[in-house]
Amino acid sequence: MKKLKLQMQISVDGFVAGPNGEMDWLTWNWDEQLKSYVGDLTASIDTIVMGRKLAQGFIPVWKERLADSQMGDFARTMVETPKYVFTKTLTENPWEFTELAAGDIVEEVNNLKADEGKDIIVYGGAGFVSALIKHNLIDEYHLFVNPAAIGKGMPIFNALEDRLTLKLEEAKQFECGVSVLRYSPAK
């Protein structure tokens, strides 16, 4: 069975965006080791899942980055990897390499996990990821902890109804200031 892997930028105080979606606190001057970590993580997947709100910015941005010689190969991966956008509002699909998923989140994700192939990565947004966490659908958490506390914003663990116990599998600190914490659900 495929694993669902979360790759999420997060502040030291546990937010993935500011109250109005601000992301100006993120560290983007990644060093080569962090880029390599992301490359390895991306190489392990063949499907991307995300919520509609994130998709509306994510998909067009990566398509634009195809022309950037420094981003070319990675941008192509982001554009051409099959994507499932979870939505309750879109009825027509405006994107290539993308399918809309409008059914029950648990059923839809478990069906994707049951498919043959590589693993699945989820990038967000906050509400969608909160629902995945609430239903215990994430198999690996790759939390990119940025060296910033923002005080208030959008959390991803706020929909939990019960305690979620995680096992730290790996912790890596990178020169750019980002630390990656990789967790799995404790059994």
On whether residue 106 sits in a domain, the answer given is: yes
Mean pLDDT computed over 94-100: 93
At residue 6, the pLDDT reads 98
On whether residue 172 sits in a domain, the answer given is: no
On whether residue 174 sits in a domain, the answer given is: no
On whether residue 181 sits in a domain, the answer given is: no
At residue 187, the pLDDT reads 76
How far CA 23 is from CA of 9, 16, 30, 67, 174, in Å, comes to 9, 8, 15, 24, 20
On whether residue 177 sits in a domain, the answer given is: no
Which tens digits make up the pLDDT trace of 30-79? 999 999 999 999 999 999 999 999 999 999 888 888 887 777 788 889 99
- The CATH number given to whatever domain includes residue 108 is 3.40.430.10
Mean pLDDT computed over 168-183: 98
Mean pLDDT computed over 9-32: 95
Report the percentage of the chain scoring pLDDT > 90.
87
CA-based angle 44:142:64, to the nearest 5? 65
Q: Which domain does 67 fall in, by range?
A: 13-19+34-119+126-163
pTM for the whole structure: 0.94
On whether residue 154 sits in a domain, the answer given is: yes
Instruction: Choose between 130 and 187: higher pLDDT.
Output: 130
Q: How many CA atoms lie within 13 A of 187 on its CB side?
A: 1
On whether residue 112 sits in a domain, the answer given is: yes
- Specify the number of domains making up the chain: 1
On whether residue 183 sits in a domain, the answer given is: no
